[in-house]
């Protein structure tokens, strides 16, 4: 016969049935109340109804398990005996609080009822017991409000309107100045409102009050705000909330009573100073209601020195015992101190870092614990500007928080305007676009922030902004942008070019006007924490960087090389976009004419129509010569520019590897669609507008992301890749002669077949040998590929015979695996998450179940053919802590992320090592 389940745990009189490590069963509050009781801390006694009851309650159609009522009755009797008072006793009434308490802290999300047990008879007993009639009626009116609101759903404003009416009559703003007679009348009016709203009398039976309050607290586990909080903070796997029934102590019994909240250290700055506030003659709700201004905790030493000394003693005991900063609620009842709750204190990121480092220095915790305590994602707050929390703001729209930070500036609608106003007038600019393209790169760089109406968290705007460390709000679909009128409208508001707006890249909020910002500052504690993380982590952390500025910033943040240099981003400078476009417009002509010549030569060998074919062949060769001249001249102009780009990157990353991806996007992305830009190109190249338009039209593809891009360009237009390889190796040779240590890694994108890689690798080696022979310098370089297609993962063993490294491009791999366009997911993925189809946006957090399987398979198959295969990840996922943990688990060598995510990745990699100490990664 199995033992009878225990549903209720008692605490009081120096001993408790539970302890701190029972949070899963007793909730955080109940477990800590038990632990404090066992420590001898003055905690009002009570009992905790377990989370298992909450679980059973919801699984059994909101019915409680058998035996619970008897256990509650037994523990209530035990509490009454210990307190020498009885629930509802007209001579010596016991009053209790009924509070929620889940295993994970969810402050304010679930419900609480105070002063339970009061009725007209109990009020008489309370007056007799305390000699304080005003206090008794004050407690009663508070109880009616909380019970009505929490238990019966009578909205709080119904009671507050009555209270405000009486305060107005009394010409006071403080509840504490209302008289006993006024409180009596208020209580009666409260009960009238209660009856009108609930169609039943306010319950006088304390047992009924208790049962209903327990029901309400369990029901609050699934109220909308609690559900939303668990979603936001990814709280999963809990049974539910516990219910804590605890003897009331009163801070509203007069001048020698008080209530307050304190932290063992300053939760804002991290300083080791006692921090908190209190109110004399008040209950806990008054501290947070804002009606009365609380006093600083230091003042308690003047008001009640002995109590203050006890509070300091207990806060020190609790911090030392729990080995973390504590958030403590306390009540003083007629000079007697009671601790009502302790929990791990919420803190700013700055404070969290200081707490962790200081506590290691104090010997309270070790380095590994310090590392595990910091949420990597919160480090963003230390790396980017934030809005002043005291500043007023008017939010007009909310989009996707695509790149963190805070930005205020004047609205412009074109990249050209952004560059001009930022350069000439030194204006702070916000670039507003329906969507950005690579062509906007200059304006994006000039702007303080970027706002788009389309695109997701991995759209062009989001990716580029994160790389630059710029604030970006993407996919703000409620905005209607009118480029012609140079305005956008949202919810009836019109914002014109030149108007100020502010963007919060961490929340996605768009605000009218200028909102004050606070610049970030990195402390010595931050550097210390990062050093500890580096000692622990196994994964290397590289950066995605296309400019020396990005590379320099990433190296300052601790990057150990470049994991992805997107060469296409280098093509949009004003001094080179013309040559790029010339190269693109004539590359197809050269290929088509060469193909035509091959066909004609073949026909010439087979037919006797030689004169006609020879004439056509001669004309085609003439056309080829003209097109080839324009094509090769463009490549010759680009070569020194690319070489200079790579020289600067190698210099910035002296001694560290630099992975350079050869041209990847479809060629049409570099060409203008607007006629006035096409006219400008035609004029510069001395060809007709129609020729330009025909060439642009010929390059158009119905689905360019699945079309002529990546290595397919290298196969078709081999001269482009040859030029880029030549630039890389020449730059490496030059920098090596200057004493710079270079480790180039040449990456071929969108490989889907073994032979594709073989052809391009052979071409890379041929060009590299030629350059090194001419320069008289030997360079150690590697040739590898980006695994971004499902087929590449499936045949990874074949590709790895020839590739020296793999870098997983998980943005494209996710697109191909799901069949989602990453620029369009904003229109439906939020619904998929809300309905539970997807747990997370797969472009933000790697889908381990599907895409992750392809990654793991690719690594295993690749290393089966080449055991020393170097493997990394360079998609946007490389900076996501959850994905970094996955990368550690599957044995990658490194992750690569945008410069401002490097510290986050370093910390997340260390935490991954702590969680999974045995890794197959080869570092």
Q: Which residues are catalytic?
A: 460, 874
Tokens coding 800: 């790895």
Report residue 251: phi and psi, to 5°: -95, 0
Q: Which residues of 423-439 are buried (b: 16+ CB within 10 A; e: fewer)?
A: eeeebebbbbbebbebb
Nearest to 450 by CA among 436, 431, 467, 435: 431
Concatenate the DSSP letters of all residues of 781-833 into one string: -EEEEEE-SHHHHHTHHHHHTT-SEEEE-HHHHHHHHHT--TTTGGGTHHHHH
Rg (CA), the chain: 35
Tokens coding 568: 């296409």
Tokens coding 125: 């007993």
Phi-psi map region of 539: left, alpha, beta (phi>0 left; psi -120 to 50 alpha): beta
Residues with Cβ within 8 Å of residue 75, at least 6 apart in sequence: 8, 10, 47, 245
Tokens coding 611: 């004169």
C-alpha–C-alpha distance, residues 686 and 693, integer Å: 14
- The beta-carbon contacts of 587-590 under 8 Å, at least 24 apart in sequence, are 587/631, 587/667, 587/717, 587/719, 587/720, 588/695, 588/698, 588/699, 588/717, 589/623, 589/627, 589/631, 589/695, 590/624, 590/627, 590/628, 590/631, 590/717
Give the 3-state secondary structure of 700-764: CCCCHHHCCCCHHHHHHCHHHHHHHHHHHHHHHHHHHHCCCCCEEEEEECCCCCHHHHHHHHHHH
Tokens coding 812: 């494209």
Strand pairing category for 493-496 and 500-504: unpaired
Length of the chain: 923
Q: How far is CA 600 from the centre of its chain?
A: 60
Nearest to 377 by CA among 831, 901, 917: 901
159 half-sphere exposure, CB direction, 13 A CA radius:
23
Residues with Cβ within 8 Å of residue 206, at least 6 apart in sequence: 87, 88, 116, 117, 119, 122
CB atoms within 10 A of CB 305: 10
C-alpha–C-alpha distance, residues 511 and 407, integer Å: 10
C-alpha–C-alpha distance, residues 535 and 907, integer Å: 11
State the sign of the Cα–Cα–Cα–Cα dihedral 16, 17, 23, 27.
negative
CA separation, residue 31 to residues 104, 218, 364 (Å): 11, 17, 22
C-alpha–C-alpha distance, residues 434 and 440, integer Å: 12
Answer whether 786's CB lies under 8 Å from 874's CB.
Answer: yes
Residue at token pair 């009960």:
191
Answer whether 138's CB lies under 8 Å from 177's CB.
Answer: no
Phi-psi map region of 863: left, alpha, beta (phi>0 left; psi -120 to 50 alpha): alpha
Answer whether 670's CB lies under 8 Å from 580's CB.
Answer: yes
Q: Strand pairing partners for 386?
A: 518
């Amino acid at each position: 016969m199995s033992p009878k389940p225990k549903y209720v745990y008692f605490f009081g009189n120096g001993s408790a049935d539970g302890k701190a490590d029972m949070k899963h069963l007793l909730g955080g509050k109940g477990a800590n109340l038990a632990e404090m009781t066992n420590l001898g801390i003055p905690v009002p006694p009570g009992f905790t109804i377990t989370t298992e009851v909450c679980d059973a309650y919801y699984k059994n159609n909101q019915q409680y398990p058998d035996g619970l009522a008897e256990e509650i009755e037994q523990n209530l009797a035990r509490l009454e005996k210990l307190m020498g008072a009885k629930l509802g006793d007209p001579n010596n009434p016991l009053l209790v609080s009924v509070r929620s308490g889940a295993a994970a802290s969810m402050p304010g999300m679930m419900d609480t009822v105070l002063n339970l047990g009061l009725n007209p008879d109990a009020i008489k007993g309370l007056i007799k017991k305390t000699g304080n009639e005003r206090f008794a009626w004050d407690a009663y009116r508070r109880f009616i409000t909380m019970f009505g609101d929490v238990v019966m759903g009578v909205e709080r404003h119904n009671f507050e309107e009555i209270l405000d009416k009486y305060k107005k009559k009394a010409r006071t703003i403080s509840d504490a100045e209302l008289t006993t007679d006024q409180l009596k009348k208020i209580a009666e009016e409260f009960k009238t409102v209660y009856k009108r709203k609930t169609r039943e009398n306010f319950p006088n039976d304390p047992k009924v009050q208790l049962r209903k309050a327990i029901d309400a607290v369990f029901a609050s586990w699934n109220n909308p705000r609690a559900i939303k909080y668990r979603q936001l903070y990814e709280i999963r796997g809990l049974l539910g909330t516990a219910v804590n029934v605890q003897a009331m102590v009163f801070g509203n019994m007069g001048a020698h009573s008080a209530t307050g909240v304190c932290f063992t250290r300053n939760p804002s700055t991290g300083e080791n100073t006692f921090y908190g506030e209190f109110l004399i003659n008040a209950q806990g709700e008054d501290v947070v209601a804002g009606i009365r201004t609380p006093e600083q905790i230091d003042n308690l030493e003047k008001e009640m020195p002995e109590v203050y000394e006890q509070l300091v003693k207990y806060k020190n005991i609790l911090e030392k015992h729990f080995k973390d900063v504590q958030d403590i609620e306390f009540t003083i009842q007629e000079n007697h101190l009671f601790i009502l709750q302790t929990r791990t204190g919420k803190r700013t990121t700055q404070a969290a870092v200081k707490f962790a480092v200081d506590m290691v220095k104090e010997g309270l915790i070790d380095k590994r614990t310090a590392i595990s305590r910091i949420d990597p994602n919160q480090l963003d707050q230390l790396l980017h500007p934030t809005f002043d929390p005291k500043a007023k703001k008017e939010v007009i729209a909310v989009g996707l928080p695509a790149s963190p930070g805070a930005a205020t500036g004047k609205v412009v609608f074109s990249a050209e305007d952004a560059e001009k106003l930022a350069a000439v007038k030194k204006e702070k600019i916000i670039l507003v676009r329906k969507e950005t393209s690579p062509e906007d790169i200059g304006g994006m760089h000039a702007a303080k922030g970027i706002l788009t109406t389309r695109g997701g968290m991995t759209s062009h705007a989001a990716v580029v902004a994160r790389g630059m460390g710029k604030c970006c709000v993407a996919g703000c679909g409620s905005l209607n942008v009118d480029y012609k009128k140079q305005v956008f409208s949202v919810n009836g508001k019109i914002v014109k070019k030149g108007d100020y707006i502010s963007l919060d890249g961490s929340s996605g909020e768009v605000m009218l006007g200028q909102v004050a910002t606070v610049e970030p500052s990195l402390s010595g504690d931050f550097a210390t924490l990062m050093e500890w993380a580096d000692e622990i982590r196994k994964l290397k952390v590289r950066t995605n960087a296309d400019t020396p500025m990005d590379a320099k910033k990433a190296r300052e943040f601790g990057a150990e090389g470049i994991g992805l240099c997107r060469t296409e981003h280098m093509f949009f400078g004003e001094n080179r976009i013309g040559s790029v476009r010339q190269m693109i417009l004539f590359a197809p002509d050269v290929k088509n004419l060469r193909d035509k010549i091959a066909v004609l030569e073949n026909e010439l060998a087979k037919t006797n129509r030689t004169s006609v074919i020879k004439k056509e062949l001669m004309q085609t060769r003439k056309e080829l010569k003209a097109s080839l001249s324009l094509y090769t001249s463009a490549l010759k102009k680009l070569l020194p520019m690319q070489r200079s780009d790579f020289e600067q990157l190698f210099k910035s990353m002296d001694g560290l590897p630099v992975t350079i991806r050869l041209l990847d996007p479809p060629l049409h992305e570099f060409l203008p669609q607007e006629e006035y830009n096409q006219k400008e190109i035609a004029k510069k190249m001395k060809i007709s507008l129609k020729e330009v338009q025909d060439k642009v039209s010929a390059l158009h593809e119905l689905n360019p992301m699945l079309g002529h891009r990546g290595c397919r360009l290298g196969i078709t237009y081999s001269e482009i890749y040859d030029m880029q390889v030549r630039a890389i190796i020449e730059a490496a040779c030059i920098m090596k002669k200057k004493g710079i240590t270079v480790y180039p890694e040449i990456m071929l994108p969108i490989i889907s077949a073994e032979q594709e890689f073989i052809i391009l690798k052979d071409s890379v080696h041929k060009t590299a040998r030629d350059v090194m022979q001419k320069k008289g310098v030997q360079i150690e370089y590697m040739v590898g590929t980006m695994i971004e297609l499902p087929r590449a993962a499936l045949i990874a063993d074949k590709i790895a015979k020839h590739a020296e490294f793999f870098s997983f491009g998980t943005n494209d791999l996710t697109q191909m695996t799901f069949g989602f366009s990453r620029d369009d997911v904003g229109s439906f993925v939020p619904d998929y998450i809300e309905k539970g189809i997807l747990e997370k946006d797969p472009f933000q957090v790697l889908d381990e179940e599907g895409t992750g399987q392809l990654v793991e398979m690719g690594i295993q198959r690749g290393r089966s053919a080449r055991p020393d295969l170097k493997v990394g990840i360079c998609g946007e996922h490389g900076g996501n802590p959850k994905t970094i943990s996955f990368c550690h688990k599957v044995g990658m060598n490194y992750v690569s992320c945008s410069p401002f995510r490097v510290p986050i990745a370093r910390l997340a990699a260390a935490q991954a090592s702590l969680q999974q100490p045995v890794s197959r990664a080869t570092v």
